[in-house]
A and B are shown apart, each in its own frame.
Chain A
Amino acid sequence: GAVVSQHPSRVICKSGTSVKIECRSLDFQATTMFWYRQFPKQSLMLMATSNEGSKATYEQGVEKDKFLINHASLTLSTLTVTSAHPEDSSFYICSAERGVAGYGGELFFGEGSRLTVL
């Protein structure tokens, strides 16, 4: 089956540093990838939609200058948390859509990245 790889799975950093998380679709091309954030005991919150070759679409309330998304190829999207602070500590998950973008494509998730900002 389709596999989405997310890296790193766990990262600990100091306040003020930037962290990059990669999301790769390993056996299919994904023109659309999604980035989510999950708060403890809550569901996934969509942060942004990443479209290959164009700017990401951010959800209301998500700071685009803080959460930089780059979708440089059909198999790779990256999320960079810039100048991270303790409140950015969370579980970040990506997903990639296989199929015609936006038309009932199947969604596959990465394993998530646990970010801890000290």
Chain B
Amino acid sequence: EDKVVQSPLSLVVHEGDTVTLNCSYEVTNFRSLLWYKQEKKAPTFLFMLTSSGIEKKSGRLSSILDKKELFSILNITATQTGDSAVYLCAALPTGNQFYFGTGTSLTVIP
């Protein structure tokens, strides 16, 4: 059965801390892994990772994919209160079905 598992389920940190969010997947015909940030409304796209070992960066956020061990991490450095959100990862196989994890709820305390 195809599945995506995220950990931890929730996380509370102080401003300035660095956090690492984990996403493991078991998906047939895996193509890409995507990370999203969801605040009050719809998720916003962060990264799409297709190749193993190549880090993608956007400001204080970075992510990397390990296709051998079937996982991805999302790092956030120097966290800010505006980073508080649910972070979703999704695995995309060839075809149209996206498999989402249950998300990691991040709370950044001032």
Q: Contact residues of A with B, CB < 8 Å?
A: 6, 32, 34, 42-44, 46, 49, 51, 57, 93, 97, 101-104, 106-112
Hey, which chain B residues are within 8 Å of A109, CB to CB? 36, 42-45
**Residue B100 lies at the interface, judged by CB distance under 8 Å to chain A:** yes
Query: Could you list 18 examples of A-B contacts with CB < 8 Å?
Result: A32-B96, A34-B96, A34-B98, A43-B101, A43-B102, A46-B100, A49-B96, A101-B96, A102-B94, A103-B31, A104-B31, A104-B32, A104-B48, A104-B50, A107-B34, A107-B92, A109-B45, A111-B42
C-alpha gap A107/B96 in the complex (Å): 11
Contact of B95 among A34, A43, A102, A107 (CB under 8 A): A102
**Residue B58 lies at the interface, judged by CB distance under 8 Å to chain A:** no
Of chain B, the residue at the smallest CB distance from A112 is B42
By DSSP majority rule, is chain A's interface helix, strand, loop, or mixed? strand
**Residue B88 lies at the interface, judged by CB distance under 8 Å to chain A:** yes
For the complex with contacts A93-B43, A107-B34, 6 further pairs of A-B residues with Cβ separation under 8 Å are A34-B96, A34-B98, A43-B103, A104-B50, A107-B92, A107-B98
Of chain B, the residue at the smallest CB distance from A6 is B42
Hey, which chain A residues are within 8 Å of B92, CB to CB? 104, 107
**Residue B68 lies at the interface, judged by CB distance under 8 Å to chain A:** no
The 4 closest A-B pairs by CB, nearest first: A109-B42, A112-B42, A43-B102, A104-B32
Of chain B, the residue at the smallest CB distance from A57 is B96
